[in-house]
Amino acid sequence: MDPGVDSPERLGVVTDAANEGDGEALPVAEAGNLFGDHDDEAYMDLPNENATPQDGDLAMEVGMDLEGMEDDDVEADAEAMQIAADELGIEPPRNLTNIPVPSVDSIDEPDNPANSRFKHLRKGAEHVLEKRPHTVAYPNNAGVVYSTSGLTQNQCYEGQISKSSSNPYTPFTSKLDWEIAKWAKLRGPSSTAFTELMAIDGVQEGLNLSFKNTRELNKFIDGKLPGRPPFEHQEILVGGEVCDVYFRDIIACIHALFGDPDFAPYLVVAPERHYTDESKEERMYHDMHAGRWWWSTQQSVGPGATIVPVIISTDKTQLTLFRNKNAYPIYMTIGNIPKEIRRRPSMRAYVLLGYLPTTRLEYVSNHAQKRRMITNLYHACLGRILQPLVSAGKDGVLMSMANGNLHTGDCPRCQESRNHLENFDTNEIPPARDLNTIMTALKSIDHDPDTFLRTCSATRLKPVAHPFWENLPHVDIYRSITPDILHQLYQGVVKHLFSWVISACGAAEIDARCRRLPQNHNVRLFMKGITSLSRLTGQEHDQICRFLLGLIIDIRLPDSLSNVRLLRSVHAILDFLYFAQYPIHTSTTLELLEDSLMRFHDNKTIFCDLGIRENFNIPKLHFSTHYVELIKLFGTTDNFNTQYTERLHIDLAKDAYAATNRKDEFEQMTAWLDRKEKILRHAQYVEWRLAGSPLPELVDWIPPGLDMHRELYLSKFPTARARSFNQLERDYGATFFIIALRRFISLANNPSLATERQLDTSLWNVHFPFQALPVWHMIKFRRTDPVTGQLSTADSIHVRPARHDKQKSHMLPGRFDTALINDGRGKDYGVKGVLHSLFFSVPGTSNSAAAQDTGSGAYV
């Protein structure tokens, strides 16, 4: 019998060696459960298939699993799905009525010329982002080194702690002395617990430490270790209440960041223009120095000056859940540090500048008066903290880098009225607020308060007496309000979009569809739905966005309305959200960003037709119209994303509060943070000494975060050492695996086979000297961080049959992931969808050289 007669038309095995050899080899097509049922007759005449295993092969027939080869999170997700099914019931099968499902082309508006241009632009927009740009340096002197002090920052630090010492841990007496002090302040228990540990007989003497308890250690750190600028404390009397404000000298903080040895290789001191190639036709935007603002501001300062962009972020946070304790930290960083460094909390590129008062002025009964007083208090405190920037911005200050070189260094934006915020026209962007008019209105308070109020009302300005930014040089406060992915998009526009979709589709239907979603590495499952969630974080909004469009792709709307405009609106907002987060932009991708917003406005009337919205006068949605201009000025949005400073609340506010006794907490919090920073700075110095006191080496180029390279990773040992062919067919659904493997080996050995008939005949000569194969249940795709060199898992594919949970109480469903593979034959979209059934490797005992060279493979 011809072994190929009853086999399905297409069978496939994909291996990591499949593309080696002759490029003209007959392609191996795919096969699996989607192409037909298992037929035993297809294997009847093939030898060695049904041989009875010997006694020594019984272990291979049963299979030998290796425990702990898969992530605990995968197991936990599967168990959570089963528990949710037990509690809520599995969603019953739907009656498959003739629901009109819009095609991809109908969603993409093929009749719209603008959308055709959108697809044409996107097709080639991203590939240029992965290349190193063509750089044009600032033509005149910028970032000039005025002199060299002769000492690096580490050498200056060394002079502060000791004149000369061969002990790299100075002022600590030994490595053990230093390591215990470091552990106590960064990883150790509470102060009381550490004191009790030191009080145990023989501990302090046996370790020969230079401190006996927490108090002595704190005194040692405060007196002998230099650190970042200390905190100052001032009291402000507001009515009858005394408000405390803690802050640092902002100029000293800028000195600390500019001269930090960890940042020396990456620091940027002059603006540049980046282009995709030497023709300089398409501009690129990413870090601040590649934006237009730095270039234009450099022209307004003296020749040779170094601009230090100061980035300020404030956000109130809750310290406790029940005692209503709040903190209002203010963070600062500088734009000379690349965004890839600033975004990592572990790099300490942000400085805690201070804590603002959190008073509620409860004794003031008039709410309007209370709001004015709190606003004036905010501006007064911030004005005091930023006051040193006035003279520094006008006259400049000498600032040393770590290598010793010395340098000098409504809509809140436009005039659109609140009743017309829903308007959007790329050709008629509302003009920015006139700063000269604003400043004239603010100065009128010194002459006539009544005129001041009328002037502020006429210019649509909040009547604040002397706002903090009034005298700051080179500052246009309305242009300085930058895009905020977290609060403007995720917690603003996306939050509105969720509520509109739920109103349009129904909460019960949305939750039911959430429970039907399959597991995926990059998708979190909400097994109880999303409509009942409250106080969603930005991360949860991001997780829901990943499957939102899939939830509504075939949804039925009330009154038999077509869902095409709904899909287009959601699709456009998600496109805008993800384009806005690109770590590097070109003129083309900025056009795509603008087109996405236009597509939303073209289709948003669906929410009015459904009675959900009457208008779209939403300030955060309107602010999206300014994203393109602001990215061109200041660089991409990840330069200013408040998600990074939100993370700092844990390290610089919540952890600090947890270390206090809850009395006069801010004084204790600042002292705790000061000591922690001193320990971290000394750790930096010790590492430098142990490395041989090297000089900082400058890094020429830092990729701006768009590294698309992924490395395939398989664990060293398979999940199951052996799975028989019968098990592969029964448990993994690899119905035609044997024929597919034979076809692959035959083609590898004979790439000259030209017809299907010749290939089918050659299968008679393929014999397997084994009855089972090692199997992996997961492969990972890893990426390497370009700055730290650390590996992280970017994605994974799971292939695992149904099994019992660890308690043997539930049967967990199998998981066979679907992947999109770009094999160059996916027509317009360049991808092909395949269902993975099996990851395997061929044992080394095979008598086929091709089989031995295939390495690992996948059956799809």
Give me the DSSP letters along 453-514.
Answer: HHHHHHTT----SS-TTTT-TT--TTTS----IIIIIIIIIHHHHHHHHHHHH-HHHHHHHH
**Residue with more model confidence, 811 or 87:** 811
For residue 76, name the pLDDT band (cuts at 50, 70, 90). low
Q: Is 354 helix (H, G, I), strand (E, B) or coil?
A: strand
Q: Is the pLDDT score of 219 beyond 80?
A: yes
For residue 233, name the pLDDT band (cuts at 50, 70, 90). very high
pLDDT at 352: 94
CA–CA gap between residue 759 and residue 10 (Å, rounded): 13
- The per-residue pLDDT for range 498-518, each reduced to its tens digit, is 999 999 999 999 999 998 888
Mean pLDDT of the chain: 79
For residue 299, name the pLDDT band (cuts at 50, 70, 90). confident
Average pLDDT over residues 723-743: 88
Q: Is 668 helix (H, G, I), strand (E, B) or coil?
A: helix
**Residue with more model confidence, 48 or 316:** 316
* 818-825 own/partner pairs: CB under 8 Å, 24+ apart: none
Q: Is 375 helix (H, G, I), strand (E, B) or coil?
A: helix
CA nearest to 625, candidates 382, 838, 422:
422
pLDDT at 65: 38
Looking up tokens 């190639």 gives 277
What crossing angle do the helices spanning 507-515 and 538-551 adopt, rounded to 10°?
90
Least confident of 147-161, 242-256, 321-335: 147-161
**Residue with more model confidence, 222 or 395:** 222
pLDDT at 94: 57
**Residue with more model confidence, 113 or 61:** 113
Give the DSSP per-residue string, 676-693. HHHHHHHHHHHHHHHTT-
What are the domain boundaries of the chain? Answer: 13-69+715-859, 108-123+483-638, 172-224, 232-409+640-674, 434-477
Percentage, residues of the chain above pLDDT 90: 30
CB 414 within 8 A of CB 264: no
The structure tokens listed for 490 are 């995720």
Instruction: Tell me the pTM.
Output: 0.77
CA nearest to 714, candidates 12, 17, 16:
16
Q: Is the pLDDT score of 370 beyond 70?
A: yes
Average pLDDT over residues 129-136: 83
Q: Is the pLDDT score of 69 beyond 50?
A: no
Least confident of 32-46, 512-526, 728-742: 32-46
CA–CA gap between residue 747 and residue 27 (Å, rounded): 9
- Please give the single-letter amino acid code of residue 753: L
Q: Which of 135-144, 308-317, 828-837: highest mean pLDDT? A: 308-317
pLDDT at 356: 95
- The per-residue pLDDT for range 204-216, each reduced to its tens digit, is 888 989 999 999 9
Assign 3-state DSSP to the chain and report helix, strand, coil percentages, each to 5: 40, 15, 45
CB 637 within 8 A of CB 631: yes
CB 652 within 8 A of CB 329: yes
- The per-residue pLDDT for range 78-88, each reduced to its tens digit, is 666 665 655 55
Average pLDDT over residues 16-22: 39
**Residue with more model confidence, 114 or 728:** 728
Q: Is the pLDDT score of 632 beyond 60?
A: yes
CB 682 within 8 A of CB 225: yes
Q: Is the pLDDT score of 545 beyond 60?
A: yes
Average pLDDT over residues 230-243: 89
- The per-residue pLDDT for range 546-602, each reduced to its tens digit, is 999 999 998 889 888 899 999 999 999 999 999 999 999 999 999 999 999 999 999
pLDDT at 425: 66
For residue 39, name the pLDDT band (cuts at 50, 70, 90). very low
CA nearest to 418, candidates 713, 619, 660, 172:
619
CB contact set of 808 (below 8 Å; sequence gap of 6+): none
Least confident of 288-292, 730-734, 849-853: 849-853
pLDDT at 96: 47
**Residue with more model confidence, 248 or 227:** 248
pLDDT at 813: 84
Least confident of 157-161, 285-289, 528-532: 157-161
- The per-residue pLDDT for range 639-691, each reduced to its tens digit, is 988 888 888 998 999 999 999 988 889 999 999 999 999 999 999 999 999 99
Sheet of 838-841: strand order equals: 13-15, 856-859, 838-841, 772-776, 720-724
Average pLDDT over residues 142-167: 74
Q: Which H helix or E strand runs over 15?
A: strand 13-15
CA–CA gap between residue 27 and residue 20 (Å, rounded): 12
Give the single-character DSSP code of 695.
P
